[in-house]
Amino acid sequence: MNDAMDELRRIVMRAGDAWTATGLPRVSMVRAEACSDQVYEPMLHLVLQGTKSLSVGDRVLGFEEATYFVVPVDLPAIGQVSSDRPGRPYLALSLALDPATIAAVLTDADRTSADRNAASFKASKATPELIDAWLRLMRLIDQPDEAQVLAPLIEREILFRVLQGPQGDVLREMARADSRWAQVRRAIDWIRVHFAEPFRVEPLATTVGMSVATFYRHFRAVTAMTPIQYQKRLRLLKARRLLLFEPRDAAAIAFSVGYESPSQFSREYARMFGMPPVRDVARFKPPPGSVNSDQLPPRALEHLRGM
Domain contains 101: yes
Q: What's the pLDDT at 54?
A: 86
pLDDT of residue 139: 97
Domain end marker among 175, 194, 209: 175
CB 223 within 8 A of CB 230: yes
Give the H/E segment covering residue 53: strand 51-56
Domain range for 282: 229-301
Question: What pLDDT sits at residue 108?
Answer: 62
- pLDDT at position 35, please? 66
Same domain for 89 and 208? Answer: no
The pLDDT assigned to 285 comes to 66
* Residue ranges of the chain whose pLDDT lies below 70: 17, 35-36, 108-120, 285-307
Per-residue model confidence (pLDDT) at position 243: 92
Residue 172: predicted pLDDT: 93
Are 211 and 77 in a shared domain? no
Among the candidates 147, 175, 203, a domain finishes at 175
Could you give the CA distance from residue 22 to residue 28 in angstroms, rounded to a whole number? 6
Domain annotation covers residue 262: yes
* 218 and 242, same domain (yes or no): no
233 and 131 housed in the same domain:
no
143 phi and psi angles, rounded to 5 deg: -130, 70
Please report whether residue 307 resides in a domain. no
The amino acid present at 285, given as its one-letter code, is K
Q: In what order do the strands lie in the sheet containing 51-56? A: 38-40, 75-82, 51-56, 59-63
Same domain, yes or no: 207 and 254: no
Do 87 and 221 share a structural domain?
A: no
pLDDT, residue 110, reads 67
Calpha distance 260→73 (Å, rounded): 28
HSE on the CB side for 18, CA within 13 Å?
Answer: 15
In the chain, how many domains are there?
Answer: 3
Domain end point (choices 159, 175, 191) = 175
**Same-domain check for residues 200 and 246:** no
pLDDT for residue 163: 95
